[in-house]
Amino acid sequence: MSETVTPVIGLIGGSGLYDLPGLQQREWKRIESPWGEPSDEILHGTLSGVPVRFLPRHGRGHPTPPSRLNYRANIDAMKRAGCTEIISLSAVGSLKEELPPGHFVIVDQFIDRTFAREKSFFETGCVGHVSVAHPVCPRLGDALEASARKLGLPVTRGGTYMVMEGPQFSTKAESLLYRSWGCSVIGMTNMPEAKLAREAELCYATVAMVTDFDCWHPDHDAVTVDQVVKVLFGNADLARGLVADVVPGLGAPRGHCPAGCDRALDHALITAPEKRDPALMAKLDAVAGRVLRAA
């Protein structure tokens, strides 16, 4: 029998995006997660009647750097807050001449070069392997592209987001290497976030907002936070406009995700039921309860 999903739109705001003032019926709520502390409380509200949940990725006031974010707690808390999909709004550096500061890229791939983060909800006691061959939900990508084009934003559909550990920006040799790999943009946060969203069966997409040309560019010797922040605040206002346009269409009741994001765990778990760790099973209730309860 096909189920009807009533969407709750999750938004993760990156650098420069710490609030969504346009939200109605606003309430910041602390969501407890067995995976630890999320970056902040989650702002609950509605946009054109559609339920929205907003999490500032680095916390309000930006206290937490990319390597110290508790990505598992953030995704788990968003799922506990009811989210069915997540749109990440992220500041990035550009690795291509044709993607200048101010440009929006609806990326469709990632290269994960992070190494100091917890990357999976599955551990000893419940082993799971999901596919992230296509880490971005094409349905969300379509909706974001349509809104961006309607609003006249400079936008490119598709591209690879290189995820580095940071917090330092790249060396010039690294920047040139990532360009030689064909990457479009570079940032520090969207992995493992996208992988964890897939494990949690949440549709995920990213609006990567270019703030700088990274250090490969002949006119752009080094990246600085000042420079990034200057572009970022302009981008953030445009991103809020994009959100206001895209949310009403995404809020309509729908069937299952045609790409299967919300069924990612159907064939992912390999640990025999009698070998599963009850404590880990309990932690996985929000993320994987759908399949664990069925087992």
Ligand X SMILES: Nc1ncnc2[nH]cnc12
Stretch that binds ligand LNRAV4D5, among 31-39, 130-138, 151-159, 185-193 (CB under 6 A): 185-193
Interface with ligand X, residue 95, by CB under 6 A: no
Interface with ligand LNRAV4D5, residue 246, by CB under 6 A: no
Stretch that binds ligand X, among 40-48, 183-191, 248-256, 261-269 (CB under 6 A): 183-191
Strand partners, 52: 9, 45
- Given 40, 112, 214, 245, the catalytic residue: 214
Whether the Cβ atoms of residue 40 and residue 64 lie closer than 8 Å to each other? no
Annotated ligand binding at 104? The verdict is no
Whether the Cβ atoms of residue 206 and residue 90 lie closer than 8 Å to each other? yes
Q: Which does 214 bind (CB under 5 to 8 A by kind): ligand LNRAV4D5, ligand X, none?
A: ligand X
> What is the SS3 assignment for 102?
coil
DSSP state of 235: H
Q: Which does 93 bind (CB under 5 to 8 A by kind): ligand X, ligand LNRAV4D5, none?
A: ligand X
Whether the Cβ atoms of residue 247 and residue 9 lie closer than 8 Å to each other? yes
Judging by beta carbons within 10 Å of its beta carbon (0-12, 13-18, 19+), is residue 192 exposed, middle or buried?
buried
Q: How far is CA 160 from CA 63, 116, 142, 145, 195, in A?
A: 28, 21, 17, 16, 15
Interface with ligand X, residue 112, by CB under 6 A: no
Interface with ligand LNRAV4D5, residue 198, by CB under 6 A: no
Q: What does the alpha-carbon distance between residue 78 and residue 43 come to, in Å, rounded to a whole number?
A: 10
Size of the site for ligand LNRAV4D5 (CB under 6 A): 13
Q: For tokens 């890229």, name the residue.
A: 105
Strand partners, 76: none
Interface with ligand X, residue 69, by CB under 6 A: no
Site for ligand X in 225-254 (CB under 6 A): 228
Question: In terms of residues, how long is the chain?
Answer: 295
Q: Fill in the amino acid letter for 161.
A: Y
Interface with ligand LNRAV4D5, residue 101, by CB under 6 A: no
Q: Which does 11 bind (CB under 5 to 8 A by kind): ligand X, ligand LNRAV4D5, none?
A: none
Q: What does the alpha-carbon distance between residue 51 and residue 75 come to, in Å, rounded to a whole number?
A: 17
Q: What does the alpha-carbon distance between residue 126 and residue 280 come to, in Å, rounded to a whole number?
A: 7
Residue 237 falls in the annotated catalytic set: no
As measured in angstroms, the least distance from the Cβ of 224 to ligand X is: 10
Q: Which is nearer to ligand X, 85 or 212 (CB)?
A: 212
Structure tokens at 236: 């953030």
Residue 76 falls in the annotated catalytic set: no
Binding site residues, ligand X, CB under 6 A: 91-93, 169, 186-188, 211-212, 214, 223, 228
Binding site residues, ligand LNRAV4D5, CB under 6 A: 14-15, 57-58, 66, 90-91, 166, 187-189, 225, 228
Binding site as annotated, residues for phosphate: 15, 57-58, 90-91, 189
Binding site as annotated, residues: 15, 57-58, 90-91, 188-189, 212-214
